Amino acid sequence: MLADCLDRGGKILSCGNGGSAADAQHFAAELLNRFEIERPPLAAVALTTDSSTLTSIANDYAYEDIFAKQVTALGKPGDILLAITTSGNSANVTQAVHAAHENQLSIVVLSGCDGGELAGALNSDDIEIRAPATRTARIQEVHLLVIHCLCDLIDHKLFG
């Protein structure tokens, strides 16, 4: 799904908090620059990086809206939201998923534990990759491995 989106000229938006924010940025960097092969840049945006946008939305509206407003502004039908959360209970990530649904983006979630509240917000077309762990550090380790696997699969599918 990720490779097909990029092949059609779409983009992948990524978000998360704390270590998951770092993972969202890591994923976007691997696509925009390169992973393991020389190839053209791929369209990816980490919604975690613009401190002026994040703080203005949090200040003027609510912290829960920091990703949703960006998804609404930047996401187009056919794009993908990669939502990363170790607990599944991050209100701002859940709001981003709702905004993605409203704007006809596809959704891939990296989660852990029991999927939390976010698992209940997903549609049957959404993809959840849940780390089978309850400790945050172990979940984040799995997420990083999954991110590298996704990057490898995207490169392989698009560039052989």
The DSSP symbol for 64 reads: G
| Amino acid at residue number 157 | K
- Give me the pLDDT at residue 57, please: 98
- Give me the pLDDT at residue 12, please: 98
- Give me the pLDDT at residue 137, please: 97
Task: Report the C-alpha gap between 129 and 153 in whole angstroms.
Answer: 15
Task: Report the C-alpha gap between 2 and 77 in whole angstroms.
Answer: 14
| Amino acid at residue number 54 | L
- Give me the pLDDT at residue 148, please: 98
Domains of the chain, residue spans = 2-159
The structure tokens listed for 55 are 């703080």
Sequence-distant (6+) residues with CB within 8 A of 89 are 116, 117, 118
2-159: CATH superfamily: Glucose-6-phosphate isomerase like protein; domain 1 (3.40.50.10490)
Sequence-distant (6+) residues with CB within 8 A of 132 are 142
Digitized pLDDT (tens) for each residue of the chain, 160 residues in all: 999 999 999 999 999 999 999 999 999 999 999 999 999 999 999 999 999 999 999 999 999 999 999 999 999 999 999 999 999 999 999 999 999 999 999 999 999 999 999 999 999 999 999 999 999 999 999 999 999 999 999 999 999 9
The structure tokens listed for 71 are 């998804």
pLDDT tens digits, one per residue of 74-95: 999 999 999 999 999 999 999 9
Question: Whole-prediction pTM value?
Answer: 0.97
